Structure 1
């Protein structure tokens, strides 16, 4: 689970199944009573229908926590980061960043840095589509050192410059939540 909507979806499944629980949070459900194996299978099946799966290890929970943490950085529409992502994640999850990076790459097929860049580009596409900010403001808000670097990275990922994207009628976008489910 990587977002509040994911948590609400899991809570809805539990309520539909009439399962007693005290709390649902990122990567965990606290049950108030024993959960029989047959019910676990049923729960897992319902989660799969929603595109979720049960994390079988703490390592997978760490990966989901990385994704959730990075997505959360965009909630305030500004990435005023005073510390590097590596420090932020290792402190939040209490796991060495090199371990997190290895686990993330193995399970997601991309590095944490590439995932974060993908999130930043999707946020830039949102802001460009909504015409909320000009390109310079977007570059600054997303933590790029220069408009040129932002534009080069945007073009590398999307095949268009930010200006061309802003002008185009077809604006291909993914939600941040959908990036989290990859």
Structure 2
């Protein structure tokens, strides 16, 4: 009733108000959303969409940081890592992420790892075996299979494509 009255005070027409959910007749403008957020905050409530968005961004940031900046030094399961850092149950995080992003956390993690593999292949500083070690793949075959599944190319073929596109300085 308290939430419904706040919507009415702001001139917003509700269709249904249930625990944690409000269905409106029309879309909120940015000004209406800001006013509603202030009104709800004063009563100790928050907009769940904002919390969902923040949680999704935190998940992505943790995964990107882990893969691209920490050389994937993951000593525990990804699920435990995310749960510990976000102080939430992994099943809740996983369901929220899948529902919002239309991809699982695991697939997002794998896609980030493949992007890192591409980067390392292009820089040509490490062998495929070293890249597999850096990114905690159990072996080169696992890395190669996952790479081909995501990109459609083998890592070796991808590396050759890069070399064909580049013109050597002596040929300029």
**Both proteins in one fold, TM over 0.5:** yes
Instruction: Classify 1:112/1:132 alpha carbon distance in 2 versus 1 (closer, same or farther; 3 Å).
Output: same
Residue number in structure 2 paired with 1:88? 81
User: How far did residue 75 of structure 1 move?
Assistant: 4.1
Question: Per-residue CA shift, 1:25-57, capped at 9, x if unaligned?
Answer: xxxxxxxxxxx948x59xxxxxxxxxxxxx833
Residue number in structure 1 paired with 2:150? 157
Secondary structure of residue in 2 paired with 1:67: helix
1:79 aligns with 2:72: yes
Secondary structure of residue in 2 paired with 1:74: helix
Runs (4+) of structure 1 exceeding 4 A deviation are none
Secondary structure of residue in 1 paired with 2:69: coil
Question: Per-residue CA shift, 1:87-122, capped at 9, x if unaligned?
Answer: 010111111000000000000010000000000000
User: How far did residue 58 of structure 1 move?
Assistant: 1.3
Separation of aligned partners in 2, 1:169 and 1:83: 34
Higher radius of gyration, 1 or 2: 2
Residue number in structure 2 paired with 1:69? 62
TM-score (norm 1): 0.62
Separation of aligned partners in 1, 2:90 and 2:129: 31
Higher helix share: 2
**Aligned-residue CA RMSD in angstroms?**
2.6
Higher relative contact order (CA 8 A, sep 6+): 1
Separation of aligned partners in 2, 1:72 and 1:169: 26
* Structure 1 gaps, min length 5: 1-35, 42-54, 172-182
Separation of aligned partners in 1, 2:149 and 2:69: 26
* Structure 2 gaps, min length 5: 1-29, 36-47, 165-172
Instruction: Classify 1:75/1:124 alpha carbon distance in 2 versus 1 (closer, same or farther; 3 Å).
Output: closer
